[in-house]
Amino acid sequence: MKRLARPFILFLCIIGISVLHYMTPLSLPFLHDIYQRLYYLPIILAAFWYGFRGGLACSIFVSIVYAPHLLFQWGGHVTMEMEKYLEILLYNIVGGITGLLSQKERERSAELQVTAKGLDESYKKLQAQSERIIAVEEKLRRSEKLSTLGEMAAVLAHEIRNPLGSIRGAAEILKDDYKPGDPKHEFIEIQIKETERLNRVVVDFLHMARPQPIDMKLCPVQDELETILFLVSNDARERRIKLVLHPPAVPVIIKADGEKLRQAFLNITINALQATPPGGSVIISTTIYQTALCEIRFFNTGPGIDAGTLERIFEPFFTTKADGTGLGLAITKKIIESHSGTLLVESDVGKGTTATVRLPMLDKTNGGMP
């Protein structure tokens, strides 16, 4: 619309100035001097808008319109008003030079835009490469941490687990000599409890650091979840938390290591129970996701997790619990990924947290393989 209006504006300006020339008496030469200078406005505008050709075309059109005024109205004063004829030459010089400079400037601007676009693309590529490098460095740091963890696990398995077994065995023997109510019975109970906790830490180290063999079999997801509910039902009652399991619309069967999958589901459910205050709820549901995946969602009505903590929940040894090892979710994620699945945790502070596990379903067209 703007481009269509520009020629019309130029035409009106030139015609308007020319009418003023033709209508103004020669007895007012100072007005004619002003009018002939006004012709530069449309010439310069045309040069800026259309470049060299536009400026020159406009100046030629002005010359054609202005020439009859000189020939018929000032024709008898040729020697006295020679500068008016030279003005026509200046019109064309100004139109051509201004148009040429404007055109060069536009070409330069276009080149700069192309250069800026290229630089922007290069910046995006460098940014993407930088992000990949950071991701690789993060993986290397994690691999280094896991390598160190593997060495530590080997030492712990050899140097700690065997003595722990002896300590616990001795404590259980002593426990028989001191009946409940005896002050020493309480200390022995503490000793047994702490040795169990330390043994669990060592076991978590071993599971995190060393790849565990996977025994893949047909696994009904609902059966595994019902087993988990049975295991944690007493804990949920003691915490006064409502535990709900929504069955899928159709039976969902995957190929998985049932024991390890139960461990992963149990870790998620226990975390959900621990995060939920009394009177709250933990809701587990299974649905079909994009026809090829089953989606198991563990939702709790706890206080939620802030963004900073949420970014680190899968880091080994990171924990917000006073007695936690920081390995539960890291091990769980590793188990899910070993089944070609994904684990995603989303949280809304003040409303609750959802852990979503997605696992491949059986492909019936491929002999039951996922």
Asked if pLDDT for residue 19 goes beyond 50, the answer is yes
**Domain extent for 96:** 2-114
**Whether residue 199 sits in one domain with residue 156:** yes
Of 209, 226, 249, the residue at which a domain comes to its end is 209
Handedness of CA 88, 91, 92, 94 (dihedral sign): positive
Last residue of a domain, one of 185, 209, 233: 209
* 8 and 63 in a common domain: yes
**What are the pLDDT digits (tens) for 338-365?**
889 999 999 988 889 999 999 998 765 3
Q: Which residues lie closer than 8 Å to 235 by C-beta, 6 or more apart?
A: 270, 273
**pTM metric for this prediction:** 0.50
Q: What is the pLDDT of residue 310?
A: 87
Helix (H) or strand (E) holding 284: strand 281-289
Distance CA(253)–CA(370), nearest Å, equals: 10
Q: What is the structure's pLDDT at 322?
A: 66
Q: What is the CATH number of the domain that holds 309?
A: 3.30.565.10
Q: For the domain that residue 174 is a member of, what is the CATH number?
A: 1.10.287
Q: Kindly state whether residue 123 falls inside one of the protein's structural domains.
A: no
Tens-digit pLDDT profile for residues 46-73: 888 888 888 888 888 888 888 777 776 6
Name the one residue in this structure whose structure tokens are 């959802």: 354
State the pLDDT confidence band at 157, using cuts at 50, 70 and 90: low
CB 328 within 8 A of CB 355: no
Does pLDDT of 366 surpass 60? no
| pLDDT computed for residue 25 by the predictor | 81
Mean pLDDT calculated for residue range 135-160: 67
More confident residue, 256 or 27: 256
195 with 294, same domain: the answer is: no
Cα angle, residue 41 at apex, residues 36 and 43 outer, rounded to 5°: 90
In this prediction, residue 158 carries a pLDDT of 58
pLDDT of res. 44: 86
Is 334 found in the same domain as 266? Answer: yes
* 129 is a domain residue: no
User: Among 142-151, 268-277, 291-300, which stretch is predicted with the lowest mean pLDDT?
Assistant: 142-151
Residue 121 lies in a domain: no
Give the per-residue pLDDT at 52: 85
- Reported as a single tens digit per residue, the pLDDT across 290-335 is 878 999 999 999 999 888 888 888 887 777 776 666 777 888 888 8
Domain end call among 159, 192, 209? 209
Query: Average pLDDT of the chain?
Result: 81
pLDDT, mean of residues 6-32: 81
pLDDT of residue 352: 92
Q: Identify the band that residue 155 occupies on the pLDDT scale cut at 50, 70 and 90.
A: low
For 107-139, write each residue's pLDDT tens digit. 888 888 888 888 888 888 888 888 888 877 777
Count of structural domains, the chain: 3
Q: Which amino acid is at 337?
A: E
Q: What pLDDT score does 350 carry?
A: 87
Say if residue 149's pLDDT is above 70.
no
**CA-to-CA distance for 366 and 370, rounded, in angstroms?**
8
pLDDT score for 174:
76
Domain for residue 119, yes or no?
A: no
Judge whether 196 lies within some domain: yes
Spatial CA neighbour of 337 closest among 144, 152, 137, 142: 142
Do 148 and 85 lie in one domain? The reply is: no
Q: Is 242 helix (H, G, I), strand (E, B) or coil?
A: strand
Same domain, 229 and 356: yes
Residue 255: strand pairing partners: 218
3-state DSSP assignment of residue 304: coil
* Per-residue pLDDT reduced to its tens digit, 188-247: 877 787 777 777 667 766 665 565 667 788 989 999 999 889 888 988 999 999 999 998
List, for residues 65-108, the tens digit of each pLDDT value. 887 777 766 555 555 456 667 778 888 888 888 888 888 888 88
Question: Could you tell me if 109 and 191 lie in one domain?
Answer: no
